[in-house]
Amino acid sequence: MEKRNFNIMVMSVIIGMSVFWLSLYAFIILDIDPLYHIKTTFGGEDTIILTIKGNVNRELELSISDIKSDKYQQVKDRTFHFINAIGSEFDEVYSGASLWSIFEEENILNEDASNFLFIGGDGYWAETYLPLNLAENHTEQIIVAYEKDGEPIYYDGPLRSIVDHELIPEKANTHYAIKYLKTILIQ
């Protein structure tokens, strides 16, 4: 019986160490904030929740109140068409700030910047980078959304990236609708 208890204890220590190191990996390497959901839910609209970084002349941090401000082009109650990976089609109504208007107003893009990638607070990122000229040429079809159906995005939010399927017809655009949007990486 003692050998069995010892084996259980050893396995418990191994499992505990594995959980510790995988959590540390998630928090540091994948840049996942374990308190992200608490801060964004209870931190108010002035809590910094979106960072734009990478091939930029300065890193930009934005709060929900920044994104909702009249400083950026606001897209209100626009219907976006989605197709998921298995081919199901559906429409949803979102409001948010035009991604290109943020880049343009803040003038943060370096001259050789060419692509962008959405990354969520849960560590999930978009399928591939998208070209910046797509956002520039279709300002109302790529947004940083803060409302769905006229209500703040509580579940999957408070921010979400939205790309209309018309812009990437050969792909499932749900892969670019990143919930818990935290970072926009410029390449």
H/E stretch holding 134 reads: helix 132-137
d(CA 111, CA 52): 16
What's residue 111's pLDDT? 94
More confident residue, 27 or 98: 98
Looking at residues 133-145, what average pLDDT do you find? Answer: 96
CA dist list (Å): 17 to 10, 123, 148: 11, 21, 41
Please compute the mean of the pLDDT values over residues 147-154 and round it to a whole number.
91
Q: What is the pTM of this model?
A: 0.77
**Whether the Cβ atoms of residue 117 and residue 125 lie closer than 8 Å to each other:** yes
Q: What is the mean pLDDT of residues 134-145?
A: 96
pLDDT score for 27: 67
pLDDT tens profile 61-100:
999 999 999 999 999 999 999 999 898 999 999 999 999 9
pLDDT band of 29, cuts 50, 70, 90: low
Sorting pLDDT into bands at 50, 70 and 90, what band is 41?
low
**Mean per-residue pLDDT for 106-124?**
93
- Mean pLDDT of the 143-158 span: 90
| Contact indicator for 131, 114 with CB cutoff of 8 Å | yes
